[in-house]
Amino acid sequence: MYMDMMRSTAMSRRSALMGGVGLGAAGMMGAAPAFAGGHAQGANVRPLDLMDPKENVYAFAKLWFGLGEPVFGAYHGVQYALIGKNRLKPVFGYVGGGHMQAKILDNGHARIRGKELGLFTDLATGDILESWYNPWTEENVKPFNFFNDKVRGELGTEMPKFQFGTEEDEATVMNEADTLGADPNGTIPFLLPWQRFGDQYILAWDYAHEYTNPVTAAKWPKANTDPRINPSEHFVFYTPQNIMDDRDAPSAPFHSGFFRQGPWWPWMLMGGSGVDGVLIGRMHSYKITGTLEDYPKKVLDYAEKHYPAYFDPADDWEDGFPIGTWEAYARDMPPEVGTE
C-alpha cells in the first residue's frame, strides 16, 4: 500500500511490493503492508462492549482501517442509470480501493490516515475507461478518475458530522437511521449498530448528503446538473467475531456490500441534456486478506502507470477533511466557460 519503492529500476512498484511481502519487507523498507488473513487466537480476548463509545471507536478503526501497519482494501462493481420509471440500465463499472491506517489515542479517539482511488471501467472488457460514449448526449466524454492521497482525520466518541458545500448547508450525521431520537444539535454518542450473529459481527454504516454543488453552472454548465447534489453511500460489513474480540490482533478482515446512489457524475457532461436521472451502484468491498494478487489487477496496473504515489505510505497524521468527486472536479478541472 505504501512503502518507499526506491528499488531497482527493473522492478515495478507492485513487484517490489509483492517481493517485499514475501521477504518480510518491514525490516527492509520500513512500513510493509498488512494483510488480514489467517488468525491464531491470542490470550487477550474480550468481547466488544457495544454500548461504550470508546469500544466502538476501537472496533470501527480496527475494522475499516487497521491499528497496525496500513492495510489494503478494494471494491469493484457496476453503476446503473435510473431515468424516470424506466428500468435500470448498467452504464459502467466502478472500481478502486485504498490503504488505511489508524492509531488509538490516550483519550480513546482514533487518528486515521491513508489514500484512496476511484476508477471507471468498461462493462465488456473491465478496462479502465479513458473515454466513454454518452448515449444521451451522443458524445464521447473523458471519465474523471479520482485519487485522494490525503485521507486524514480523527474519529472521536461522538457520531461524526460532515460539513460539505457552504456554511449554509446542513451538516450530515453519519448513520442517521441509528441516531433517531437524539438531539441533532447536541451530543450523539458514537454507538454503531453492531450485531452478533453466530461467529460474525455485522455492522451497517451509511451517510446521505445534500449540499450545494461545488461544480457550479456558471463555470461548468455542462458538468453541472443541479444547484444541489445528494450522493449517499451504504455499507453492510461482516467480520469474524474471534478476531474483533482479540485485543492483540491489530486488524480484522471484512467483506462488505457497498451501495451508492447519486446524481450524474460531473464528467458525464449531462448539464443541459434535459435527462433527469440517478446513478445507483452495487459493489463488493473488502480488505485484502492474501497478497496484492487478490487486488483487482487492472486497478493496480492503472495506478502504477498514472498514480504511482498511491503505493507510497501516508507519512503524516495531519488534520484533513473528506473530499468527494465533485469537490475534486471543481479543484482540478478548468472551467468550461471561456475555454475551447
Write down the pLDDT at residue 9.
Answer: 21
- How far apart are alpha carbons 78 and 91 in whole angstroms? 8
- How far apart are alpha carbons 24 and 91 in whole angstroms? 42
Write down the pLDDT at residue 181.
Answer: 62
Write down the pLDDT at residue 123.
Answer: 97
Comparison of pLDDT for 10 and 334, the residue scoring more: 334
Identify whether the C-beta of residue 119 lies closer than 8 Å to the C-beta of residue 95.
Answer: yes
Q: Angle at Cα 124 formed by Cα 122 and Cα 128, nearest 5°?
A: 25
- How far apart are alpha carbons 300 and 286 in whole angstroms? 16
- How far apart are alpha carbons 141 and 161 in whole angstroms? 34
Could you give the 3-state DSSP secondary structure of residue 93? strand
- How far apart are alpha carbons 212 and 214 in whole angstroms? 6
Any idea where the domains of the chain sit in the sequence?
A: 50-332
Q: Which set of grid coordinates corresponds to residue 165?
A: 458545500
- How far apart are alpha carbons 117 and 296 in whole angstroms? 12
Q: Write out 59-92 in H/E/C secondary structure.
A: HHHHHHHCCCCCEEEEEEEEEEEEECCCCCEEEE
When pLDDT is averaged across residues 191-204 and rounded to a whole number, the result is 95
Could you give the 3-state DSSP secondary structure of residue 80? strand
Q: Which of 124-138, 229-243, 285-299 is the least confident region?
A: 285-299
- How far apart are alpha carbons 241 and 69 in whole angstroms? 21
Residue 163's pLDDT band, with cuts at 50, 70 and 90, is: confident
- How far apart are alpha carbons 256 and 203 in whole angstroms? 9
- How far apart are alpha carbons 31 and 25 in whole angstroms? 8
Write down the pLDDT at residue 23.
Answer: 21
- How far apart are alpha carbons 180 and 205 in whole angstroms? 15
pLDDT digits (tens, 9 = 90+) for 251-290: 999 999 999 999 999 999 999 999 999 999 999 999 998 8
- How far apart are alpha carbons 298 and 14 in whole angstroms? 12
Q: Which of 160-174, 186-200, 244-258 has the highest mean pLDDT?
A: 244-258
pTM for this predicted structure: 0.86
When pLDDT is averaged across residues 226-235 and rounded to a whole number, the result is 96
Q: Which of 18-27, 142-151, 200-209, 321-330 is the least confident region?
A: 18-27
> Amino acid letter at 248?
D
Residue 161's pLDDT band, with cuts at 50, 70 and 90, is: confident
Identify whether the C-beta of residue 75 lies closer than 8 Å to the C-beta of residue 284.
Answer: yes
Identify whether the C-beta of residue 79 lies closer than 8 Å to the C-beta of residue 94.
Answer: yes
Q: Which of 36-45, 248-257, 290-299 has the highest mean pLDDT?
A: 248-257
- Residue linked to cell 502504477: 304
Which letter does DSSP use for residue 158 in this model?
A: B
Q: What is the enclosing helix (H) or strand (E) of 261?
A: strand 255-262
Residue 188 exposed, middle or buried by CB count within 10 Å (0-12, 13-18, 19+): buried
Residue 232's pLDDT band, with cuts at 50, 70 and 90, is: very high
Residue 27's pLDDT band, with cuts at 50, 70 and 90, is: very low
Q: Number of C-alpha atoms within 13 angstroms, CB side, residue 186?
A: 6
Bridge partners, residue 103, by sequence: 111
Could you give the 3-state DSSP secondary structure of residue 328? helix
When pLDDT is averaged across residues 321-328 and rounded to a whole number, the result is 83
> Amino acid letter at 173?
V
Write down the pLDDT at residue 187.
Answer: 80
pLDDT digits (tens, 9 = 90+) for 112-125: 999 999 999 999 99
Write down the pLDDT at residue 10.
Answer: 24
- How far apart are alpha carbons 166 and 153 in whole angstroms? 20
Comparison of pLDDT for 323 and 110, the residue scoring more: 110
Q: Which of 14-28, 41-55, 81-95, 174-188 has the highest mean pLDDT?
A: 81-95
